[in-house]
Structure 1
Amino acid sequence: MFFYQRKILTTLTEEEFRAGYRKAQLIDIREPNEFDGGHILGARNIPLSQFKMRMKEIRPDQPVYLYCQNALRSGRAAQMLRKKGYKQLFQLKGGFKQWTGKIKTKK
C-alpha cells in the first residue's frame, strides 16, 4: 500500500509545495474542527470522511495539492482520486504539522 501511494502521489518538501500550490487546487483532508484550528491560506476543506461524496468538487484537469495533519490521510485521498483518473497528485511532506508558512484560523 505504501509503495503504491508513493507511485501515484508526489511528496513535496515545504518549499516545493509552496512554489506550486497557488496554481493548483489546495485541499485540506482533515476534519472540520482541525481545519478551523488552523489551515494553509487558500485551502479548501474536504475531510476524508466526506471525500467520496465531495470528490466531484475537485477538477481533474488541474494539479491537486493535498495535506492532512501528518501525511497519512492524504495518501488515502490520493488513492481515491487516482481511481477516478486524477493524474497530478501532490502531498505535503510531514503534513500540516511541518508547515511553517502562513496559516488562517477561525476565531
Structure 2
Amino acid sequence: MSYVADNWYWILAAAASGGMLLWQQVKSGGAGLSPTEAVLLINREKAQVIDVCEEAEFKAGHLVGAKNIPLSQLGSAKGLPGNKTTPLVVVCASGVRSAKAVSQLKALGYENAQSLQGGMAAWRAANLPIQKS
C-alpha cells in the first residue's frame, strides 16, 4: 500500500494516458487503417478503394482510383468486387460512415474490408494525392 501512496501521480498519469488513447479510438470511429497502411495495402495487395460518400462529396475529391458506392446503396452490392476475398479500403469524409460500411460489408461476406481511419481528412492531412471528378 505504501507504493501506491508514494507513487499516486504515476498511476494517475498512466490512467490518464490510457483514457486519452481510448478517447481517440472512440472519437475516430474505432480501429482502422492509417493513411500509410492504406497506401501499402493498395500498392502491395491491390486493394480496391470504396468511397461511401455521397456523389457530391465524391466529386469534390477522392482517392485516386476509388469507386463511389454511397453508404445508402451499399446493401445492393452493385459495384462491389465479385471476389469477396479482395482487400477493400473503405473511405468517407471522417471515418464514421466507412466504419459502418465495413460492418455491412463483413455481413455481406467481405472479410478483408477495412476503414480508412480519419477518412479523407486524414488522407489530406498526410498530403496524399486526391482526384477530383
TM-score normalised to structure 2 length: 0.68
3-state SS of paired residue (2:50): strand
Matches for 1:8-87 after TM superposition, within 5 Å: 11-22=32-43, 23-55=46-78, 57-58=80-81, 59-87=83-111
- Structure 1 gaps of 5+ residues are none
Aligned length: 100
Hey, which bits of structure 1, 4+ residues long, moved more than 4 A? Answer: none
User: Which one has a larger percent strand, Structure 1 or Structure 2?
Assistant: 1
Q: Supply the distance in 2 between the matched residues of 1:67 and 1:55 (Cα, whole angstroms).
A: 17
Identify the structure with the greater helix proportion. Answer: 2
Q: Is the contact between residue 51 and residue 90 of structure 2 (CA under 8 Å) also seen in structure 1? A: yes
1:104 matched to 2:131? The reply is yes
> Highest relative contact order (Cα 8 Å, sep 6+), 1 or 2?
1
Residue 7 of structure 2 is matched in structure 1 by none
- What stretches of structure 2 of length at least 5 have no aligned partner? 1-25
Deviation at 1:57, TM superposition (A): 2.4
Quote the RMSD (CA, aligned, Å): 1.9
If the length of structure 1 is used for normalisation, what is the TM-score? 0.83
State which structure, 1 or 2, has the greater radius of gyration over its C-alpha atoms: 2
Identity %: 33
> What's the secondary structure of 1:69's corresponding residue?
coil
Instruction: Return the offset for 1:54.
Output: 3.1
